[in-house]
């Protein structure tokens, strides 16, 4: 399994170079090498076969999921806001044919629609890294429950309320815990386990499970 430096130097750089050669420059930030290494560790478990993620962007996390475990399939939901998203999708399909699905559109609509049309699909792991406004983050948490079981691992990114783009996800996740929708089990900041999320820090995420 790749370590943080290998992920940074091989995976992240490779994707950015491939997109740059197609005239596509990644505009929004990508998942950190520390978090990608953490995700790789989770999916190396043979029990995880189907991953659902909100927020595909340039495909960094999808690439890690698919590259780490050859038995995994990934379903991604993304607005496809930037032109490089489609280029990244083509790159993923070439590298991992038949193992990735990208659902275009607003996750507030596409997640419920997908759940309605696929009642028998349940993800083994969900990675929430989509819209950073409170409304979208809360909607994603709620809607992904229909596509999960009590054993589904739930990961949410960007729990950094001291940064503008972390306020919405943090509020949504905290409310989900208070409402009994989520049981939080672990917290991480910049790759290290912590007991609470406090500044400073660039990247924080949590692991939990849905209640049923």
Indicate whether this model's pTM tops 0.75: yes
The pLDDT of 38-58, averaged and rounded, is 92
Provide the domain limits for residue 50: 4-210
Count of structural domains within the chain: 1
Q: Which residue has the tokens 């559109």?
A: 105
* Percentage of residues in the chain having pLDDT higher than 90: 71
- Contacts by 93-101 with C-beta closer than 8 Å and gap 24+? 95/63, 95/66, 95/67, 96/66, 96/67, 99/66, 99/72, 99/73, 99/74, 100/62, 100/66, 100/73, 100/74, 100/75, 100/76, 101/73, 101/74, 101/75, 101/76
pLDDT for residue 100: 98
For residue 47, give both structure tokens.
Answer: 């029990």
Averaged pLDDT score across all residues of the chain: 90
CATH number of the domain encompassing residue 77: 3.40.50.150
Whether residue 1 is predicted with pLDDT greater than 70 in this model: the reply is no
Vertex 102: Cα angle to 98 and 106 (nearest 5): 165
Which of 32-36, 166-170, 191-195 is the least confident region? 32-36
Rg from Cα positions in the chain: 16
Whether residue 15 is predicted with pLDDT greater than 70 in this model: the reply is no
Give the whole-angstrom CA distance, residue 142 versus residue 136: 10
Q: Higher model confidence: residue 30 or residue 144?
A: 144
Whether residue 147 is predicted with pLDDT greater than 90 in this model: the reply is yes
Decide: 205 and 159 in contact? Cβ < 8 Å.
yes
The pLDDT of 94-120, averaged and rounded, is 98
Give the whole-angstrom CA distance, residue 125 versus residue 151: 9
Whether residue 26 is predicted with pLDDT greater than 90 in this model: the reply is no
């Amino acid at each position: 399994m790749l370590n943080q430096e290998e992920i940074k130097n091989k995976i992240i750089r490779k994707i950015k170079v491939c997109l740059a050669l197609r005239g596509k420059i990644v505009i929004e930030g990508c998942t950190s090498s520390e978090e990608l290494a953490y995700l790789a560790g989770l999916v190396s478990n043979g029990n995880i076969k189907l991953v659902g993620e909100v927020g595909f962007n340039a495909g960094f996390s999808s690439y890690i999921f698919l590259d780490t475990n050859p038995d995994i399939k990934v379903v991604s939901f993304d607005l496809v806001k930037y032109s490089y998203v489609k280029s990244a999708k083509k790159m993923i399909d070439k590298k991992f044919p038949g193992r990735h699905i990208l659902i275009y559109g607003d996750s507030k609509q596409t997640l419920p629609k997908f759940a309605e049309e696929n009642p028998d699909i349940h993800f083994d792991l969900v990675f929430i890294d989509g819209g950073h406004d409170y409304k979208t983050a809360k909607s994603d948490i709620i809607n992904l429950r229909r596509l999960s079981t009590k054993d589904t691992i739930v990961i949410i990114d960007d729990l950094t309320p001291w940064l503008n783009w972390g306020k919405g996800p943090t509020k949504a996740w905290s409310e989900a815990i208070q409402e009994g929708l989520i049981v939080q089990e672990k917290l991480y900041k910049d790759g290290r386990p912590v007991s609470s999320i406090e500044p400073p820090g660039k990247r924080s995420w949590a692991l939990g499970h849905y209640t049923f």
